[in-house]
Amino acid sequence: MAPPSPIIQASGLTKRFGKLTAVRELTLEVGAGQVFGFLGPNGAGKTTTIRMLTGLVRPTSGSALVAGYDVTLEPREVKRRVGYLAETPYLYPKLSGREFLSFMAGLYEVPAAVARQRASRLLNLFELADRADELVETYSHGMRQKLALAGAMLHEPPVLFLDEPTSGLDPRSARLVKDLLVALVERGHTVFLSTHVLEIAEQLCHRVGIIDRGQVVATGTLDELRQQAQRNAYSLEDIFLQLTGGSEERELAAFLRER
């Protein structure tokens, strides 16, 4: 079977903040209709990469095409075609859930009647319908996460960038999100997923990219990554720890020994 045509293409993407290079010469491709897992230790440059690919932050050098549009030259066209769920999404505490979704529909220019329908459907899907007319400030962390995800999906973007989408969700809601991602991909959407939960990446992702200290250290399917890592790496966790130097694991072990 021919590999799907790439919907995200990044080439030599670099971002510097003053003297700090957050992302260095990042090159990757994500095929349309796939779930791409983007893994890496804290501070590795995952969020900066997503911010560049969504047109939020301009790369210092390099280029990227998302849904056929250049993120530097046509950021607005890119934004129209992507949904972005930030790691700590901002929600307006003084709007109700339904009002927030209406607002998001306005931002993405979704016609009002369509937006109302989609909002109702998403609120039902995420089990928020009962509380839809209450202010967001009364929502729990998980409910907020679900509302933010609904907001990112409201305009039915072909590409979804999700930064830690299951953070703070209970197992039932986390499962719901996983099922939803599978359903979205079946309908042709592409998901670029940044996560620390390796189990999710293992279950859902067609391909995985691992970033460490701003550089992509490996990309490919799980089998391909296994080949790139040492022979005794069976799970994604083993591969991840080997490719990123396992520094966190070593630090944790050292900390426990000190205790």
Partner 1 sequence: MLIHLVRQRVRMAWNRVSRGPRRALRVVGVLVAVLFTAGFVILAGLNAGGLVDRVTRNDPLAAGQSLPVLLVGVTVLTLITSLSSAFHHLFLAGDLELLLAAPVPARGLFGLKVLEIWRDSLHVLLFQAAALYALGQALHFPVSYYARALFVGALLTLAASALGASLTLVLARMRFGESILGLSRLLAILLLLPVGVLGVPALGFGRNRVPSLLSPADVNAVTDQLKSIGPPPAWAPTTWAAHLLLGDEAAGLSLALLVVTAATLFVGAQLAFDTIFQASWERVRFSASSGSARRLKWRLPAIVADKGPVLAIVQKDWRTLIRDPRWRTGAIISLVALGLPAMLLFAGDPLARAGHITRFWFGMLPVPYLAFLIGSQQGAATLAYEGRNLALLRAAPVGLTRILWAKVLGGLALVVLVTWAATLSLGFRHNGEPLETGAALLAATWLAVGATLAAVAGAALTADFEGDNPQRRVGCLGTIVTSVLSIVFFVSNTGLFVWWVVRAVLTVPRPLLGFMPFIDWALPAVALGAVGAIMLAWRIGMQRLATWEAS
Closest by CA position to 37, among listed 245, 183, 242, 240: 240
Residues 6+ apart with CB under 8 A from 254: none
Mark the segment that binds partner 1 (CB under 8 A) among 98-106, 114-122, 216-224, 234-242.
98-106
Three-state SS sequence of 194-234: ECCCHHHHHHHCCEEEEEECCEEEEEECHHHHHHHCCCCCC
Instruction: Indicate the SS3 state at residue 14.
Output: strand
Give the containing element (helix H, strand E) for 102.
helix 97-107
Measured between alpha carbons, how far is residue 75 from residues 23, 66, 78, 164 in Å? Answer: 19, 9, 5, 23
Q: What is the DSSP letter of 15?
A: E
Burial class for 253, CB neighbours closer than 10 Å (0-12, 13-18, 19+): exposed
Q: Which is nearer to partner 1, 57 or 236 (CB)?
A: 57
58 binds partner 1 (CB under 8 A): yes
56 binds partner 1 (CB under 8 A): yes
Q: How far is the CB of 244 from partner 1 (least distance, A)?
A: 22
Among 4, 31, 70, 80, binds partner 1 (CB under 8 A): 80
79 binds partner 1 (CB under 8 A): yes
186 binds partner 1 (CB under 8 A): no
Mark the segment that binds partner 1 (CB under 8 A) among 86-94, 121-129, 200-208, 246-254.
86-94
96 binds partner 1 (CB under 8 A): yes
Distance CA 4, CA 230 (A): 28
Q: How far is the CB of 49 from partner 1 (least distance, A)?
A: 14
Residues 6+ apart with CB under 8 A from 73: none
Q: How far is the CB of 19 from partner 1 (least distance, A)?
A: 9
234 binds partner 1 (CB under 8 A): no
Interhelix angle 141-153/112-125, rounded to 10 degrees, is 140
Among 103, 125, 168, 203, binds partner 1 (CB under 8 A): 103
Among 42, 76, 113, 171, binds partner 1 (CB under 8 A): 76
32 binds partner 1 (CB under 8 A): no
Q: How far is the CB of 83 from partner 1 (least distance, A)?
A: 9
Residues that bind partner 1 (CB under 8 A): 17-18, 20, 54-58, 76-77, 79-80, 84, 86, 89-90, 92-96, 99, 103-104, 106-109, 135-139
